[in-house]
Amino acid sequence: MASNSIGNIFRLSTFGESHGSAIGGVIDGCPAGLSIDESCIQTQLERRKPGQSRISTQRKEEDKVKILSGIFEGLSTGSPIAFVIENTDQRPKDYGHIQESFRPSHADRTFQEKYGIRDHRGGGRSSARVTAPIVAAGAIASQFLETQKVHVRAWVSRVHDIELTVEQDWTLEEIESNIVRCPHMATAQEMIGRIEAIKKEGDTVGGAITCKAYGVTIGWGDPVFEKLNANLAKALMGINAVKGVEIGSGIPGTYRKGSEENDLFTKKQGEIRTSSNNSGGIQGGISNGEEIIVKVSFKPVATIMQDQSSVDKDGLSTTVKGKGRHDPCVVPRAVPIVEALVALVLADASLMARSSRI
């Protein structure tokens, strides 16, 4: 099965488990001759790695990426780009208490029933730890997109019920100015306070990330089953804890009338543009030349430091309480993950678009 791969031409396959010796990936289809800055890959991994602030898990992983193939003297060679990231702060004993029990709202029971075996150490393959290779690959996809003047930017727009109401194009410096990655400082401080309060209760909260892709030209996406919006949704729903993906105006747009929601065409300086961007830059599954706008909603982290009723492998009642090191809110660390997957989908769509007409 190809369930560990994403993409048609620009294709990523990942491997590894949360507390195994290493995680990593292989990128196939990256065009030869692309200048690749490995320090940029490392920067993105630094943004995702655990232990980066007081509101994230305190697991300490350096997340140093090691390129094994596909890059020579700073340029992609056209052959598969393979890389590994070692797990250096493994504590599998933290999960001994769930070896025979199932944690509520985790993948423990579904993995056990599907495969007849599961890696209980941090969830194994179902752990958010396995998103690190996605971020590394996304950094390479972003460097490919930069050759087409396309760049992707994401930020935290909601934590629990605290929502960022200011709408503008934020800079990376503004997004990275605080530990919650909300670019509006007053809202960020309120979000941080909420996460810290919830953490003291031994509980968790969810939230949302808004992502925009700038510079995408018209014509990316292939109807019917390779629509750009569909591929974005599928990729982003693959992130742990994601419960919803909205394009453009999203669900709120479904409460409006067509006369309020439709994007009308205008012509400025010889270019056809839309008067608004409720479509989120995608119409009929094809990019329309406007900014791609995506909102990704995350549920609260399932591991909480409270007693919860559950069952063991034999179906007998038991009590499970979270142990180890976990995020009280995963949203701040998920920002580079969202950016990475959007970049991977767009890089693939860009290459696919080159084959659509003579």
Residue 183 scores a pLDDT above 60: yes
Does the CA dihedral 39-40-41-46 come out positive or negative?
Answer: positive
| 357 token code pair | 């007409």
Residues 6+ apart with CB under 8 A from 46: 52, 63
| 136 residue type, one letter | A
Higher pLDDT, 112 or 52: 112
Q: What is the pTM of this model?
A: 0.94
**3 state SS of 207:** strand
Indicate the domain borders of the chain: 5-353
Distance, in Å, from the CA atom of 323 to the CA atom of 321, rounded to the nearest integer, reads: 6
What is the predicted pLDDT for the residue at 324? Answer: 63
Question: Above pLDDT 90, what percent of the chain?
Answer: 71
Of residues 63, 44, 240, the one with CA closest to residue 138: 44
| 347 residue type, one letter | A
Q: Mean pLDDT lowest for which of 60-69, 98-107, 190-199, 218-227?
A: 98-107
Task: Give the tens place of pLDDT for each residue, 240-268.
Answer: 999 999 999 999 999 999 999 999 888 87
* Mean pLDDT, residues 282-287: 97
Sequence-separated contacts (24+) of 117-124 with Cβ below 8 Å:
119/17, 119/18, 119/19, 119/20, 120/95, 121/17, 121/18, 121/19, 121/20, 121/90, 121/92, 121/95, 122/17, 122/18, 122/19, 122/92, 122/94, 122/95, 122/324, 123/18, 124/17, 124/18, 124/19, 124/20
Map tokens 């997340």 to a residue.
Answer: 63
Under a CB-based contact definition with an 8 Å cutoff, are residues 21 and 87 in contact? yes
Residues, the chain: 358
* Mean pLDDT, residues 346-355: 96
* DSSP per residue, 159-177: ETTEE----S---HHHHTT
Distance, in Å, from the CA atom of 126 to the CA atom of 279, rounded to the nearest integer, reads: 33
What is the predicted pLDDT for the residue at 1? Answer: 46
Task: For domain 5-353, give the CATH number.
Answer: 3.60.150.10
Based on its alpha-carbon atoms, the radius of gyration of the chain, rounded to whole angstroms, reads 21
What is the predicted pLDDT for the residue at 352? Answer: 97
Under a CB-based contact definition with an 8 Å cutoff, are residues 4 and 13 in contact? yes
Does the CA dihedral 4-130-296-278 come out positive or negative?
Answer: negative
